[in-house]
Structure 1
Protein backbone atom coordinates (compact mmCIF):
# COMPACT_ATOMS: atom_id res chain seq x y z
CA UNK A 1 0.00 0.00 0.00
CA UNK A 2 1.47 3.38 -1.01
CA UNK A 3 1.74 6.40 1.28
CA UNK A 4 -0.96 8.20 -0.73
CA UNK A 5 -3.29 5.22 -0.39
CA UNK A 6 -2.80 5.14 3.38
CA UNK A 7 -3.50 8.89 3.62
CA UNK A 8 -6.68 8.48 1.61
CA UNK A 9 -7.99 5.93 4.08
CA UNK A 10 -7.34 8.09 7.15
CA UNK A 11 -9.19 11.03 8.64
CA UNK A 12 -8.55 13.56 11.40
CA UNK A 13 -10.49 13.23 14.64
CA UNK A 14 -11.15 16.25 16.85
CA UNK A 15 -12.53 15.63 20.32
CA UNK A 16 -14.05 18.75 21.89
CA UNK A 17 -14.29 18.28 25.63
CA UNK A 18 -13.79 19.80 29.08
CA UNK A 19 -12.40 18.39 32.34
CA UNK A 20 -15.71 19.21 34.10
CA UNK A 21 -17.89 17.54 31.46
CA UNK A 22 -19.84 14.71 33.12
CA UNK A 23 -21.12 13.36 29.81
CA UNK A 24 -17.49 13.17 28.61
CA UNK A 25 -16.69 11.05 31.68
CA UNK A 26 -19.59 8.75 30.80
CA UNK A 27 -18.32 8.63 27.20
CA UNK A 28 -14.80 7.46 28.12
CA UNK A 29 -15.43 3.68 27.78
CA UNK A 30 -16.88 4.15 24.28
CA UNK A 31 -14.19 6.49 23.02
CA UNK A 32 -11.37 4.35 24.43
CA UNK A 33 -12.66 1.25 22.66
CA UNK A 34 -13.11 3.19 19.41
CA UNK A 35 -9.56 4.51 19.54
CA UNK A 36 -8.14 1.02 20.08
CA UNK A 37 -10.19 -0.65 17.38
CA UNK A 38 -10.22 2.07 14.71
CA UNK A 39 -7.16 4.19 15.50
CA UNK A 40 -5.44 3.01 12.32
CA UNK A 41 -7.92 5.15 10.37
CA UNK A 42 -6.99 8.33 12.28
CA UNK A 43 -4.22 10.45 10.81
CA UNK A 44 -4.55 12.82 13.79
CA UNK A 45 -6.45 12.40 17.05
CA UNK A 46 -6.69 15.83 18.65
CA UNK A 47 -8.18 16.73 22.02
CA UNK A 48 -9.66 20.23 22.01
CA UNK A 49 -10.42 22.01 25.26
CA UNK A 50 -13.84 23.65 25.03
CA UNK A 51 -13.82 26.06 27.97
CA UNK A 52 -17.13 25.03 29.48
CA UNK A 53 -17.01 27.27 32.58
CA UNK A 54 -14.69 30.28 32.71
CA UNK A 55 -16.33 31.66 35.87
CA UNK A 56 -19.39 30.23 37.58
CA UNK A 57 -20.69 33.76 38.21
CA UNK A 58 -20.93 34.40 34.46
CA UNK A 59 -21.72 30.83 33.37
CA UNK A 60 -25.47 31.32 33.31
CA UNK A 61 -26.30 27.69 34.03
CA UNK A 62 -27.60 24.98 31.72
CA UNK A 63 -31.37 25.19 31.58
CA UNK A 64 -31.61 22.18 29.26
CA UNK A 65 -30.26 19.99 32.05
CA UNK A 66 -32.12 21.76 34.85
CA UNK A 67 -29.06 23.63 36.13
CA UNK A 68 -29.63 27.16 37.39
CA UNK A 69 -27.35 27.10 40.45
CA UNK A 70 -24.22 25.21 41.47
CA UNK A 71 -26.04 22.77 43.75
CA UNK A 72 -28.14 21.62 40.77
CA UNK A 73 -24.98 20.18 39.22
CA UNK A 74 -24.61 17.67 42.07
CA UNK A 75 -27.93 15.99 41.30
CA UNK A 76 -27.29 16.12 37.54
CA UNK A 77 -23.85 14.50 37.87
CA UNK A 78 -25.04 11.82 40.26
CA UNK A 79 -27.91 10.96 37.94
CA UNK A 80 -25.51 10.54 35.00
CA UNK A 81 -23.27 8.36 37.16
CA UNK A 82 -26.11 6.07 38.19
CA UNK A 83 -27.49 5.81 34.67
CA UNK A 84 -24.17 5.05 32.96
CA UNK A 85 -22.37 3.22 35.81
CA UNK A 86 -19.47 5.64 35.41
CA UNK A 87 -19.80 6.80 39.02
CA UNK A 88 -19.76 10.48 39.96
CA UNK A 89 -19.77 11.78 43.53
CA UNK A 90 -20.92 15.31 42.66
CA UNK A 91 -21.40 16.54 46.22
CA UNK A 92 -18.59 19.06 45.77
CA UNK A 93 -21.10 21.25 43.92
CA UNK A 94 -23.18 21.50 47.10
CA UNK A 95 -20.21 21.87 49.46
CA UNK A 96 -17.51 23.95 47.74
CA UNK A 97 -18.61 24.61 44.13
CA UNK A 98 -15.94 24.58 41.43
CA UNK A 99 -15.53 28.10 40.08
CA UNK A 100 -13.95 27.36 36.70
CA UNK A 101 -12.73 24.65 34.33
CA UNK A 102 -10.03 26.96 32.96
CA UNK A 103 -7.24 26.18 35.49
CA UNK A 104 -7.43 22.43 34.80
CA UNK A 105 -7.74 23.05 31.05
CA UNK A 106 -4.64 25.25 31.09
CA UNK A 107 -2.71 22.61 33.03
CA UNK A 108 -3.73 20.13 30.33
CA UNK A 109 -2.46 22.52 27.63
CA UNK A 110 0.98 22.84 29.23
CA UNK A 111 1.30 19.09 29.82
CA UNK A 112 0.31 18.36 26.22
CA UNK A 113 2.89 20.83 24.93
CA UNK A 114 5.79 19.84 27.22
CA UNK A 115 4.98 16.18 27.95
CA UNK A 116 2.83 15.04 24.99
CA UNK A 117 3.09 11.38 26.00
CA UNK A 118 1.22 12.29 29.23
CA UNK A 119 -1.61 14.32 27.63
CA UNK A 120 -4.24 11.58 27.67
CA UNK A 121 -3.34 10.53 31.20
CA UNK A 122 -3.48 14.03 32.71
CA UNK A 123 -6.99 14.52 31.32
CA UNK A 124 -8.04 11.19 32.77
CA UNK A 125 -6.47 12.01 36.15
CA UNK A 126 -8.28 15.35 36.24
CA UNK A 127 -11.58 13.59 35.67
CA UNK A 128 -10.89 10.90 38.23
CA UNK A 129 -10.03 13.57 40.79
CA UNK A 130 -13.29 15.48 40.41
CA UNK A 131 -15.72 12.72 39.43
CA UNK A 132 -14.59 9.88 41.70
CA UNK A 133 -12.71 11.55 44.54
CA UNK A 134 -14.70 14.80 44.76
CA UNK A 135 -11.69 17.11 44.50
CA UNK A 136 -11.81 20.71 43.32
CA UNK A 137 -9.68 20.76 40.18
CA UNK A 138 -9.79 24.54 40.02
CA UNK A 139 -7.42 24.68 43.02
CA UNK A 140 -3.65 24.88 42.64
CA UNK A 141 -2.96 22.38 45.43
CA UNK A 142 -5.19 19.72 43.87
CA UNK A 143 -3.73 20.19 40.41
CA UNK A 144 -0.17 20.07 41.70
CA UNK A 145 -0.89 16.89 43.66
CA UNK A 146 -2.12 15.24 40.44
CA UNK A 147 1.01 16.34 38.59
CA UNK A 148 3.25 15.14 41.42
CA UNK A 149 1.52 11.76 41.34
CA UNK A 150 2.44 11.56 37.66
CA UNK A 151 6.08 12.45 38.46
CA UNK A 152 5.84 15.68 36.48
CA UNK A 153 7.32 19.04 37.48
CA UNK A 154 4.25 20.46 39.20
CA UNK A 155 5.77 23.84 40.02
CA UNK A 156 6.99 24.47 36.49
CA UNK A 157 3.73 23.28 34.92
CA UNK A 158 1.53 25.27 37.29
CA UNK A 159 3.53 28.47 36.79
CA UNK A 160 3.21 28.14 33.02
CA UNK A 161 -0.46 27.16 33.16
CA UNK A 162 -1.39 30.01 35.50
CA UNK A 163 -0.03 32.68 33.17
CA UNK A 164 -0.66 34.33 29.83
CA UNK A 165 1.22 31.38 28.33
CA UNK A 166 -1.37 28.87 29.53
CA UNK A 167 -4.28 31.12 28.61
CA UNK A 168 -2.91 31.68 25.10
CA UNK A 169 -2.75 27.93 24.50
CA UNK A 170 -6.29 27.50 25.79
CA UNK A 171 -7.50 30.39 23.63
CA UNK A 172 -6.16 28.53 20.60
CA UNK A 173 -8.31 25.56 21.52
CA UNK A 174 -11.34 27.76 22.14
CA UNK A 175 -10.95 29.21 18.65
CA UNK A 176 -10.76 25.71 17.19
CA UNK A 177 -13.85 24.69 19.17
CA UNK A 178 -15.76 27.54 17.57
CA UNK A 179 -14.43 26.65 14.12
CA UNK A 180 -15.63 23.08 14.63
CA UNK A 181 -19.03 24.45 15.73
CA UNK A 182 -18.80 22.31 18.86
CA UNK A 183 -21.37 23.94 21.11
CA UNK A 184 -21.76 21.02 23.54
CA UNK A 185 -19.52 18.32 24.93
CA UNK A 186 -18.50 15.73 24.06
CA UNK A 187 -18.36 16.47 20.35
CA UNK A 188 -16.41 14.31 17.90
CA UNK A 189 -15.64 15.77 14.48
CA UNK A 190 -14.16 13.63 11.70
CA UNK A 191 -12.52 15.53 8.81
CA UNK A 192 -11.30 13.78 5.66
CA UNK A 193 -8.65 14.71 3.10
CA UNK A 194 -11.23 16.72 1.10
CA UNK A 195 -11.92 18.82 4.23
CA UNK A 196 -15.39 17.32 4.55
CA UNK A 197 -16.59 16.73 8.07
CA UNK A 198 -19.06 14.68 10.09
CA UNK A 199 -19.97 15.64 13.64
CA UNK A 200 -21.11 13.30 16.41
CA UNK A 201 -22.61 15.26 19.30
CA UNK A 202 -23.05 13.94 22.82
CA UNK A 203 -22.20 10.64 24.52
CA UNK A 204 -23.39 8.58 21.57
CA UNK A 205 -23.17 4.76 21.33
CA UNK A 206 -20.09 3.07 19.92
CA UNK A 207 -21.95 2.27 16.70
CA UNK A 208 -22.52 5.98 16.02
CA UNK A 209 -18.76 6.60 15.94
CA UNK A 210 -18.13 3.64 13.65
CA UNK A 211 -20.95 4.73 11.34
CA UNK A 212 -19.57 8.27 11.13
CA UNK A 213 -16.09 6.96 10.35
CA UNK A 214 -17.40 4.71 7.57
CA UNK A 215 -19.34 7.59 6.03
CA UNK A 216 -16.39 10.02 6.04
CA UNK A 217 -13.87 7.58 4.55
CA UNK A 218 -13.74 7.09 0.75
CA UNK A 219 -16.63 5.01 -0.56
CA UNK A 220 -15.72 1.34 -0.73
CA UNK A 221 -13.11 1.48 2.05
CA UNK A 222 -13.02 -1.87 3.82
CA UNK A 223 -13.32 -0.71 7.43
CA UNK A 224 -12.32 -3.47 9.85
CA UNK A 225 -11.67 -3.23 13.60
CA UNK A 226 -8.44 -4.21 15.30
CA UNK A 227 -8.40 -6.35 18.41
CA UNK A 228 -8.42 -4.50 21.72
CA UNK A 229 -4.95 -4.87 23.30
CA UNK A 230 -4.47 -7.16 26.31
CA UNK A 231 -5.66 -5.68 29.60
CA UNK A 232 -2.09 -5.42 30.92
CA UNK A 233 -1.19 -3.16 27.99
CA UNK A 234 -4.29 -1.02 28.51
CA UNK A 235 -3.69 -0.59 32.24
CA UNK A 236 -0.05 0.37 31.81
CA UNK A 237 -1.40 3.34 29.86
CA UNK A 238 -4.39 3.89 32.15
CA UNK A 239 -3.68 2.51 35.64
CA UNK A 240 -7.23 2.72 36.99
CA UNK A 241 -10.24 1.33 35.18
CA UNK A 242 -13.80 0.99 36.36
CA UNK A 243 -15.67 -2.26 35.88
CA UNK A 244 -17.90 -0.63 33.24
CA UNK A 245 -14.87 0.32 31.19
CA UNK A 246 -13.52 -3.23 31.18
CA UNK A 247 -16.96 -4.59 30.34
CA UNK A 248 -17.19 -2.30 27.30
CA UNK A 249 -13.64 -2.98 26.11
CA UNK A 250 -13.89 -6.76 26.22
CA UNK A 251 -17.62 -7.46 25.85
CA UNK A 252 -18.06 -8.81 29.37
CA UNK A 253 -20.89 -8.86 31.87
CA UNK A 254 -20.36 -7.19 35.22
CA UNK A 255 -20.13 -10.59 36.96
CA UNK A 256 -17.37 -11.77 34.61
CA UNK A 257 -14.99 -8.88 35.19
CA UNK A 258 -13.14 -9.92 38.37
CA UNK A 259 -12.20 -13.36 37.07
CA UNK A 260 -11.18 -11.84 33.74
CA UNK A 261 -8.93 -9.26 35.43
CA UNK A 262 -7.34 -11.87 37.69
CA UNK A 263 -6.57 -14.13 34.74
CA UNK A 264 -5.35 -11.27 32.52
CA UNK A 265 -3.14 -9.53 35.08
CA UNK A 266 -2.29 -12.09 37.75
CA UNK A 267 -3.45 -11.80 41.33
CA UNK A 268 -0.47 -9.76 42.55
CA UNK A 269 -0.58 -7.14 39.80
CA UNK A 270 -3.77 -5.30 40.61
CA UNK A 271 -5.86 -3.94 43.45
CA UNK A 272 -9.64 -4.06 43.42
CA UNK A 273 -11.78 -1.55 45.24
CA UNK A 274 -15.21 0.02 45.31
CA UNK A 275 -16.14 3.65 44.77
CA UNK A 276 -19.75 4.84 44.87
CA UNK A 277 -20.98 1.23 44.68
CA UNK A 278 -18.99 0.48 41.54
CA UNK A 279 -15.92 -1.75 41.33
CA UNK A 280 -12.62 -0.41 40.09
CA UNK A 281 -9.28 -2.09 39.31
CA UNK A 282 -5.88 -0.46 39.74
CA UNK A 283 -2.65 -1.63 38.16
CA UNK A 284 0.15 -2.27 40.66
CA UNK A 285 3.51 -1.46 39.10
Structure 2
Protein backbone atom coordinates (compact mmCIF):
# COMPACT_ATOMS: atom_id res chain seq x y z
CA UNK A 1 0.00 0.00 0.00
CA UNK A 2 1.26 3.48 -0.81
CA UNK A 3 -0.06 6.44 1.11
CA UNK A 4 0.62 10.03 0.16
CA UNK A 5 -0.32 13.20 2.00
CA UNK A 6 -1.29 16.45 0.49
CA UNK A 7 -2.82 19.84 1.09
CA UNK A 8 -4.99 21.71 -1.39
CA UNK A 9 -8.03 23.71 -0.36
CA UNK A 10 -9.31 23.70 -3.96
CA UNK A 11 -10.60 20.14 -3.52
CA UNK A 12 -12.77 20.91 -0.50
CA UNK A 13 -16.48 20.91 -1.37
CA UNK A 14 -17.89 19.02 1.54
CA UNK A 15 -21.64 19.58 1.12
CA UNK A 16 -22.07 19.56 4.92
CA UNK A 17 -20.35 16.22 5.38
CA UNK A 18 -17.12 16.06 7.40
CA UNK A 19 -15.25 13.69 5.09
CA UNK A 20 -14.93 13.57 1.32
CA UNK A 21 -13.42 10.71 -0.67
CA UNK A 22 -12.26 11.10 -4.25
CA UNK A 23 -12.53 7.65 -5.81
CA UNK A 24 -10.49 7.36 -9.02
CA UNK A 25 -11.72 4.53 -11.20
CA UNK A 26 -11.29 3.11 -14.68
CA UNK A 27 -14.64 1.57 -15.70
CA UNK A 28 -12.81 -1.24 -17.52
CA UNK A 29 -10.47 -2.06 -14.61
CA UNK A 30 -11.22 -5.34 -12.75
CA UNK A 31 -9.69 -4.03 -9.51
CA UNK A 32 -12.13 -1.10 -9.54
CA UNK A 33 -14.96 -3.59 -9.91
CA UNK A 34 -13.52 -5.62 -7.02
CA UNK A 35 -13.50 -2.52 -4.79
CA UNK A 36 -17.28 -2.02 -5.12
CA UNK A 37 -18.28 -4.15 -2.08
CA UNK A 38 -15.98 -2.09 0.14
CA UNK A 39 -17.39 1.20 -1.17
CA UNK A 40 -20.94 -0.10 -0.60
CA UNK A 41 -20.16 -1.03 2.99
CA UNK A 42 -18.46 2.31 3.69
CA UNK A 43 -21.56 4.07 2.39
CA UNK A 44 -23.82 1.93 4.56
CA UNK A 45 -21.89 2.21 7.81
CA UNK A 46 -20.47 5.74 7.49
CA UNK A 47 -22.81 7.37 4.96
CA UNK A 48 -23.79 10.31 7.22
CA UNK A 49 -20.12 11.28 7.57
CA UNK A 50 -18.76 10.99 4.06
CA UNK A 51 -19.33 11.95 0.46
CA UNK A 52 -17.79 9.81 -2.27
CA UNK A 53 -17.00 11.47 -5.58
CA UNK A 54 -16.23 9.19 -8.52
CA UNK A 55 -13.48 10.53 -10.78
CA UNK A 56 -12.62 8.73 -14.01
CA UNK A 57 -8.94 7.99 -14.48
CA UNK A 58 -8.34 6.05 -17.68
CA UNK A 59 -5.01 4.94 -19.06
CA UNK A 60 -5.64 5.54 -22.76
CA UNK A 61 -2.69 3.30 -23.59
CA UNK A 62 -5.09 0.44 -22.86
CA UNK A 63 -6.51 1.20 -26.31
CA UNK A 64 -3.18 0.11 -27.73
CA UNK A 65 -3.30 -3.02 -25.57
CA UNK A 66 -6.68 -3.83 -27.07
CA UNK A 67 -5.37 -3.43 -30.59
CA UNK A 68 -2.40 -5.66 -29.77
CA UNK A 69 -4.80 -8.28 -28.46
CA UNK A 70 -6.74 -8.28 -31.70
CA UNK A 71 -3.54 -8.60 -33.71
CA UNK A 72 -2.28 -11.43 -31.54
CA UNK A 73 -5.56 -13.32 -31.81
CA UNK A 74 -5.58 -13.16 -35.58
CA UNK A 75 -1.99 -14.36 -35.71
CA UNK A 76 -2.68 -17.15 -33.15
CA UNK A 77 0.08 -16.02 -30.83
CA UNK A 78 -0.43 -18.15 -27.73
CA UNK A 79 1.87 -16.41 -25.28
CA UNK A 80 -0.24 -13.24 -24.90
CA UNK A 81 -1.69 -14.34 -21.57
CA UNK A 82 1.78 -14.90 -20.12
CA UNK A 83 2.68 -11.22 -20.29
CA UNK A 84 3.30 -9.65 -16.92
CA UNK A 85 1.25 -6.52 -17.62
CA UNK A 86 -1.96 -6.88 -15.58
CA UNK A 87 -4.05 -4.85 -17.99
CA UNK A 88 -2.80 -7.03 -20.82
CA UNK A 89 -3.92 -10.16 -18.96
CA UNK A 90 -7.41 -8.79 -18.45
CA UNK A 91 -7.67 -7.74 -22.09
CA UNK A 92 -7.12 -11.39 -23.02
CA UNK A 93 -10.19 -12.36 -21.00
CA UNK A 94 -12.36 -9.33 -21.65
CA UNK A 95 -13.83 -8.11 -24.94
CA UNK A 96 -12.09 -5.30 -26.80
CA UNK A 97 -13.63 -2.13 -25.49
CA UNK A 98 -12.80 1.55 -25.52
CA UNK A 99 -12.27 3.03 -22.05
CA UNK A 100 -12.62 6.47 -23.63
CA UNK A 101 -16.10 5.79 -25.05
CA UNK A 102 -17.18 4.10 -21.80
CA UNK A 103 -15.91 7.05 -19.76
CA UNK A 104 -17.66 9.69 -21.88
CA UNK A 105 -20.85 7.63 -21.59
CA UNK A 106 -20.53 7.68 -17.78
CA UNK A 107 -20.07 11.46 -17.78
CA UNK A 108 -23.14 11.77 -20.03
CA UNK A 109 -25.12 9.70 -17.52
CA UNK A 110 -23.88 11.90 -14.66
CA UNK A 111 -25.46 14.92 -16.36
CA UNK A 112 -28.76 13.38 -15.25
CA UNK A 113 -27.57 13.35 -11.64
CA UNK A 114 -24.90 11.76 -9.46
CA UNK A 115 -27.05 8.74 -8.60
CA UNK A 116 -27.91 8.22 -12.25
CA UNK A 117 -24.21 8.22 -13.10
CA UNK A 118 -23.43 5.72 -10.33
CA UNK A 119 -26.23 3.41 -11.47
CA UNK A 120 -25.00 3.60 -15.05
CA UNK A 121 -21.40 2.84 -14.02
CA UNK A 122 -22.60 -0.24 -12.14
CA UNK A 123 -24.66 -1.44 -15.12
CA UNK A 124 -21.72 -0.88 -17.46
CA UNK A 125 -19.37 -2.88 -15.24
CA UNK A 126 -21.90 -5.71 -14.99
CA UNK A 127 -22.15 -5.94 -18.78
CA UNK A 128 -18.34 -5.99 -19.10
CA UNK A 129 -17.29 -8.27 -16.25
CA UNK A 130 -20.30 -10.59 -16.00
CA UNK A 131 -21.60 -10.82 -19.56
CA UNK A 132 -18.27 -10.08 -21.30
CA UNK A 133 -19.85 -7.49 -23.60
CA UNK A 134 -18.16 -4.58 -25.37
CA UNK A 135 -19.26 -1.55 -23.34
CA UNK A 136 -18.29 0.84 -26.11
CA UNK A 137 -20.95 -0.72 -28.36
CA UNK A 138 -24.05 1.43 -29.00
CA UNK A 139 -26.54 -1.33 -28.17
CA UNK A 140 -24.76 -2.22 -24.93
CA UNK A 141 -24.65 1.43 -23.85
CA UNK A 142 -28.36 1.73 -24.64
CA UNK A 143 -29.05 -1.36 -22.50
CA UNK A 144 -27.04 0.09 -19.61
CA UNK A 145 -28.80 3.45 -19.87
CA UNK A 146 -32.21 1.77 -19.97
CA UNK A 147 -31.47 -0.40 -16.92
CA UNK A 148 -30.11 2.65 -15.09
CA UNK A 149 -33.45 4.36 -15.79
CA UNK A 150 -31.92 7.23 -17.77
CA UNK A 151 -33.71 9.43 -20.27
CA UNK A 152 -32.34 7.72 -23.41
CA UNK A 153 -32.77 10.66 -25.78
CA UNK A 154 -31.03 12.99 -23.37
CA UNK A 155 -28.30 10.43 -22.70
CA UNK A 156 -27.31 9.94 -26.34
CA UNK A 157 -27.58 13.65 -27.03
CA UNK A 158 -25.23 14.35 -24.11
CA UNK A 159 -22.84 11.62 -25.24
CA UNK A 160 -22.23 13.51 -28.46
CA UNK A 161 -22.11 16.91 -26.80
CA UNK A 162 -19.09 18.87 -25.66
CA UNK A 163 -20.34 18.75 -22.05
CA UNK A 164 -19.65 15.05 -21.45
CA UNK A 165 -16.27 15.20 -23.20
CA UNK A 166 -15.23 18.25 -21.18
CA UNK A 167 -16.40 16.59 -17.95
CA UNK A 168 -14.22 13.58 -18.73
CA UNK A 169 -11.25 15.84 -19.55
CA UNK A 170 -11.81 17.57 -16.20
CA UNK A 171 -11.59 14.20 -14.42
CA UNK A 172 -8.37 13.38 -16.25
CA UNK A 173 -6.96 16.75 -15.21
CA UNK A 174 -7.87 16.16 -11.55
CA UNK A 175 -6.18 12.75 -11.67
CA UNK A 176 -3.06 14.33 -13.14
CA UNK A 177 -2.95 17.13 -10.56
CA UNK A 178 -3.36 14.60 -7.72
CA UNK A 179 -0.61 12.39 -9.19
CA UNK A 180 -2.96 9.43 -9.57
CA UNK A 181 -1.01 6.81 -11.48
CA UNK A 182 -3.17 3.71 -11.06
CA UNK A 183 -6.73 2.66 -10.38
CA UNK A 184 -8.44 2.32 -8.07
CA UNK A 185 -7.08 5.16 -5.94
CA UNK A 186 -8.85 6.83 -3.03
CA UNK A 187 -8.00 10.32 -1.73
CA UNK A 188 -9.46 11.27 1.66
CA UNK A 189 -10.06 14.87 2.85
CA UNK A 190 -11.66 16.02 6.09
CA UNK A 191 -13.56 19.29 6.61
CA UNK A 192 -10.50 21.12 7.93
CA UNK A 193 -8.95 22.52 4.75
CA UNK A 194 -5.65 23.05 6.60
CA UNK A 195 -5.27 19.31 7.20
CA UNK A 196 -3.52 17.07 4.74
CA UNK A 197 -5.40 14.56 2.64
CA UNK A 198 -4.38 10.92 2.36
CA UNK A 199 -4.04 9.04 -0.91
CA UNK A 200 -4.14 5.25 -1.11
CA UNK A 201 -3.91 3.19 -4.26
CA UNK A 202 -4.99 -0.42 -4.66
CA UNK A 203 -7.53 -2.68 -2.99
CA UNK A 204 -7.14 -3.57 0.70
CA UNK A 205 -9.26 -5.13 3.46
CA UNK A 206 -12.25 -3.11 4.60
CA UNK A 207 -10.66 -2.45 7.99
CA UNK A 208 -7.88 -0.39 6.36
CA UNK A 209 -10.40 2.12 4.99
CA UNK A 210 -12.32 2.21 8.27
CA UNK A 211 -9.12 3.08 10.14
CA UNK A 212 -8.47 6.01 7.80
CA UNK A 213 -12.05 7.27 8.10
CA UNK A 214 -11.93 7.13 11.89
CA UNK A 215 -8.51 8.80 12.08
CA UNK A 216 -9.50 11.67 9.79
CA UNK A 217 -12.77 12.52 11.52
CA UNK A 218 -12.42 14.83 14.50
CA UNK A 219 -14.97 12.83 16.49
CA UNK A 220 -15.22 9.03 16.43
CA UNK A 221 -18.09 8.22 14.07
CA UNK A 222 -21.05 6.12 15.11
CA UNK A 223 -21.31 3.11 12.82
CA UNK A 224 -24.68 2.74 11.13
CA UNK A 225 -26.56 -0.55 11.29
CA UNK A 226 -26.39 -2.83 8.26
CA UNK A 227 -29.69 -3.45 6.45
CA UNK A 228 -31.13 -6.93 6.37
CA UNK A 229 -29.65 -9.13 3.66
CA UNK A 230 -33.03 -9.24 1.93
CA UNK A 231 -33.16 -5.44 1.82
CA UNK A 232 -29.58 -5.31 0.50
CA UNK A 233 -30.35 -7.78 -2.28
CA UNK A 234 -33.53 -5.94 -3.24
CA UNK A 235 -31.71 -2.61 -3.46
CA UNK A 236 -28.67 -3.75 -5.46
CA UNK A 237 -30.46 -6.28 -7.70
CA UNK A 238 -27.33 -8.20 -8.73
CA UNK A 239 -24.55 -9.12 -6.29
CA UNK A 240 -21.61 -11.51 -6.11
CA UNK A 241 -20.98 -13.98 -3.29
CA UNK A 242 -17.79 -12.17 -2.12
CA UNK A 243 -19.74 -8.91 -2.11
CA UNK A 244 -22.26 -10.28 0.39
CA UNK A 245 -19.42 -11.84 2.40
CA UNK A 246 -17.63 -8.48 2.60
CA UNK A 247 -20.67 -6.42 3.56
CA UNK A 248 -21.91 -8.85 6.22
CA UNK A 249 -18.48 -9.99 7.45
CA UNK A 250 -19.14 -13.63 6.55
CA UNK A 251 -16.96 -16.35 5.12
CA UNK A 252 -17.61 -17.23 1.49
CA UNK A 253 -19.19 -20.49 2.63
CA UNK A 254 -21.53 -18.69 5.05
CA UNK A 255 -22.50 -16.13 2.42
CA UNK A 256 -23.20 -18.84 -0.15
CA UNK A 257 -25.34 -20.73 2.36
CA UNK A 258 -27.44 -17.62 3.08
CA UNK A 259 -27.82 -16.87 -0.62
CA UNK A 260 -28.81 -20.43 -1.50
CA UNK A 261 -31.41 -20.32 1.25
CA UNK A 262 -32.97 -17.28 -0.46
CA UNK A 263 -32.67 -18.97 -3.85
CA UNK A 264 -34.75 -21.91 -2.59
CA UNK A 265 -37.26 -19.37 -1.31
CA UNK A 266 -37.35 -18.02 -4.90
CA UNK A 267 -36.24 -14.57 -3.78
CA UNK A 268 -33.10 -14.62 -5.96
CA UNK A 269 -31.67 -16.64 -8.84
CA UNK A 270 -28.14 -17.91 -9.40
CA UNK A 271 -26.12 -16.76 -12.42
CA UNK A 272 -22.83 -18.59 -13.02
CA UNK A 273 -20.14 -16.69 -14.93
CA UNK A 274 -16.40 -17.06 -15.54
CA UNK A 275 -15.92 -14.42 -12.84
CA UNK A 276 -17.85 -16.43 -10.24
CA UNK A 277 -21.40 -16.76 -8.97
CA UNK A 278 -23.80 -13.82 -9.06
CA UNK A 279 -27.26 -13.59 -7.57
CA UNK A 280 -30.09 -11.63 -9.14
CA UNK A 281 -33.01 -10.38 -7.09
CA UNK A 282 -36.36 -11.55 -8.44
CA UNK A 283 -39.02 -8.85 -8.67
TM-score, normalised by the number of residues in structure 2: 0.78
Instruction: Tell me the CA shift for residue 34 of structure 1.
Output: 1.8
TM-score, normalised by the number of residues in structure 1: 0.78
User: What residue number does 2:33 align with?
Assistant: 25
Q: RMSD value over aligned CA atoms?
A: 3.3
User: What residue number does 1:82 align with?
Assistant: none
Is residue 56 from structure 1 mapped to residue 63 from structure 2 by the alignment?
yes
User: What residue number does 1:13 align with?
Assistant: 21
Q: 2: CA distance between counterparts of 1:8 and 1:113?
A: 22
User: What residue number does 1:145 align with?
Assistant: 143
Gap change, CA 1:168 and 1:241, over 3 Å in 2: same
Q: How many residues align?
A: 258
SS at 2:121's partner residue? helix
Instruction: Tell me the CA shift for residue 170 of structure 1.
Output: 0.8
Instruction: Tell me the CA shift for residue 78 of structure 1.
Output: 10
Gap change, CA 1:225 and 1:175, over 3 Å in 2: same
Question: Where in structure 1 are there 5+ consecutive unaligned residues?
Answer: 1-5, 62-68, 80-87
Q: 2: CA distance between counterparts of 1:11 and 1:142?
A: 35
Aligned residue runs from structure 1 range 251-270, under 5 A: 251-261=249-259, 267-270=265-268
Instruction: Tell me the CA shift for residue 211 of structure 1.
Output: 1.7
Aligned residue runs from structure 1 range 119-268, under 5 A: 119-195=117-193, 196-218=196-218, 221-261=219-259, 267-268=265-266
SS at 2:258's partner residue? helix
**Does the 8 A contact of 2:26 with 2:58 survive in 1?**
yes
SS at 1:257's partner residue? helix
Q: 1: CA distance between counterparts of 2:216 and 2:250?
A: 30
Q: 2: CA distance between counterparts of 1:20 and 1:277?
A: 14
Gap change, CA 1:54 and 1:222, over 3 Å in 2: same
Gap change, CA 1:121 and 1:224, over 3 Å in 2: same
The match for 1:91 among 90, 93, 99 is 93
Gap change, CA 1:255 and 1:225, over 3 Å in 2: same
Residues 153-183 of structure 1: per-residue CA shift (max 9 Å, x gap): 3343123113322101111212222233222
Instruction: Tell me the CA shift for residue 243 of structure 1.
Output: 0.5
Question: Where in structure 2 are there 5+ consecutive unaligned residues?
Answer: 1-13, 69-78
